[in-house]
A and B are shown apart, each in its own frame.
Chain A
């Protein structure tokens, strides 16, 4: 009998060893005892948020830099921004939001003896702008939003041919991501659904041009600030966009009439002017999800672009008159979601109709290409982010390249520091012609609360 119980005990023990481990020891009842969870009471209708930004730019002079570029080597910017935001939202679909940006660049104090250009100083030393000031409410079967706001169209991120409603901030070429670079305009946007389509239509009531490096800054050291000839307030822009998501496919169709925010240079009564042409655009975009990839394509017919040739003369540039032209613009892109990393590749082609010698003089080529490669990877539970991007003008690198490497670290919730290195290779792109003498190191920190 004793042998029977011994055998049973051995068998039970062996069976238990084979199928079980001491899992309970893995669990500690107090593992979260040190964590206090503060769940917020019901959200207030009012929300107040602040953001402080600091950004410093260091120019690392390259061999071959011009004398003007040498003058800006070393620290060329030390900016502080305060960006408060207040919003009121009594119910879903109804609300008001206002966000301002107030900035100061202390480099003009720190390097008081440097040869700062008055235009550069006027533009950068003190800055105040509205980033958002709008209200929204339900209207009929849809929703109306009116005020200073941003509207992004198209499906591609970097080289979209449809995302034309908002001007871009290009003061530090290659630094800002597409969503940070968009400058809001004043518009009224109505969105609704029509069968399976999302419909967005709007009018742009106040036009903003692209923000370019001011004359006399380190990105435009020898330049002259053109006078901006803005379209009047009566010259509205308008658009209609219809979108549909169907399984893995996304579609978008767009017609828009708006001013080209990049503009063109001309001379009027001896003064350099930047003018803006009204451009009509009809286009479509499609994307398809396939596993970890999204494939994207956009195409548009663009009518009424303008360019002006400036011939050098003894008294300065002589205008040759503005020429209208039309283009077929198209872009292809793909984005791969690799879990901790994202990879984006995009290419854009512009084809000019009825190209002639006068357009050639104005710098408009029969065809032009741009391409973009960008990669972003996140580590340490999304505390650390590394990114790399290359933007090229033309398929051959000789037409100009902007390349950047960046690293960002989250010290805590809402507090991030970032270091970016930017290098420019001179080419056809106007900012590159001015910027290529120096590489830039950009340090920045952001605190949001």
Chain B
């Protein structure tokens, strides 16, 4: 009887392995998803506060992947008082190399270098942090497969990601995350992020993906900040006029280009 129980416990604990892939395998597969070499789009971001007051930011965005970095050039279209403000960013693949960032203010007529700030800070008042917009390094987290579920009729894996050390928590603001990975396309469709602030969590939801050739890209990202179970703030980020793998030129991601403005 004792042997039976031991066998049973071992079987139950080994259930995730019986699904065929470990959490590390799944996340490695997610990380290996092909990404476009370049894309441009118009991003519309709606910020909604507790009183349902909405603020809208619209951004013209271009991105290009190079061997050393992800290059981004953004220009604000809305709101009117910041229209034309530009942002150039080189996000290097080397984890220990700081991101280079410049801001262009039309009224100033000059590109200003910006120091890399706390990446956990809010991106333009939204529920997304700068860290949310950066690539997550696979090796920064420990993964554990929790279970399988369905989201909107699609089977998903639930994976718990725990920060490997305090430096990861400091950099991302998250101690652990519950990740929902769609089994058919290996894309993250939901996430629950537990921040280092007690009781503060952030919920990320991607309701639908768009297929562009070999790439599955989110058409919309929803982010909700909750404190003690109560919604504090919401952000909806929608992509439109998306152009994937357009013939991008590294010269379109220079300070000269930034200073030419919108």
Interface residues, chain A, with chain B CB atoms under 8 Å away? 4, 7-8, 11-12, 15-16, 19-21, 23-24, 26-27, 31-32, 34-35, 37-40, 42-43, 47, 49, 51, 89, 92-93, 136, 142-143, 149-153, 155, 178-180, 182, 191-193, 198, 243, 245, 248, 250, 287, 289-294, 335-340, 381-383, 410, 412-414, 416, 446, 448-449
Contacts and interface: CB of A to CB of B under 8 A. Distances in A.
A381 B47 contact: yes
Contact of B178 (A23, A179, A293): A23
Contacts of B98: 248, 289, 291
A32 B192 contact: no
B113 A143 contact: no
Interface size class of B (residues with CB under 8 A): 35 or more
A150 B107 contact: yes
Contacts of A381: 47, 49, 122, 125-126, 233
Interface string B103-146: 00101111001111110111011100000000000000000101
Given A31-B205, A31-B224, 12 more contacts: A35-B54, A142-B256, A151-B109, A153-B110, A180-B107, A245-B102, A292-B118, A338-B117, A381-B47, A382-B124, A413-B78, A414-B81
23 contacts: A11-B8, A16-B147, A19-B147, A31-B224, A31-B231, A32-B236, A34-B52, A37-B238, A39-B238, A40-B58, A51-B80, A179-B105, A182-B107, A245-B102, A250-B113, A291-B116, A335-B115, A337-B115, A339-B120, A382-B125, A413-B79, A414-B79, A416-B81
Counting chain A CB atoms within 10 Å of each CB, which of B55, B144, B260 scores highest? B260
Given A7-B5, A39-B44, A179-B105, A339 B117 contact: yes
B183 to A, nearest CB: 16
Contacts of A42: 241
Contacts of A35: 46, 48, 54, 234, 236
Label chain B's interface by main secondary structure: strand
Which 8 pairs of residues, A with B, have the shortest CB-CB distance? A339-B118, A382-B125, A413-B79, A152-B110, A448-B81, A381-B125, A337-B117, A339-B121
A448 B8 contact: no
Contacts of A337: 114-118
A410 to B, nearest CB: 8
B13 interface: yes
A27 B180 CA distance: 12
B56 A413 contact: yes
B42 interface: yes
A143 B53 CA distance: 42
A182 B100 CA distance: 27
A287 B108 CA distance: 18
Contacts of B93: none
Nearest to A383: B125
Contacts of A143: 256, 260
A36 B188 CA distance: 24
Nearest to A14: B12
B108 A8 contact: no
Contacts of B124: 382
Contacts of B53: 412
Contacts of B81: 51, 413-414, 416, 446, 448
A25 to B, nearest CB: 10
B192 A11 contact: no
A355 to B, nearest CB: 33
B42 to A, nearest CB: 7
B262 to A, nearest CB: 7
B190 interface: yes
B117 A292 contact: yes
Nearest to A12: B12
A245 B236 contact: no
Given A7-B5, A34-B52, A289 B226 contact: no
Nearest to A34: B52
Nearest to A39: B240
A150 B222 contact: no
Contacts of A152: 108-110
Contact of B192 (A23, A37, A180, A292): A23
A89 B262 contact: yes
Contacts of B9: 11
Contacts of A12: 12
B98 to A, nearest CB: 7
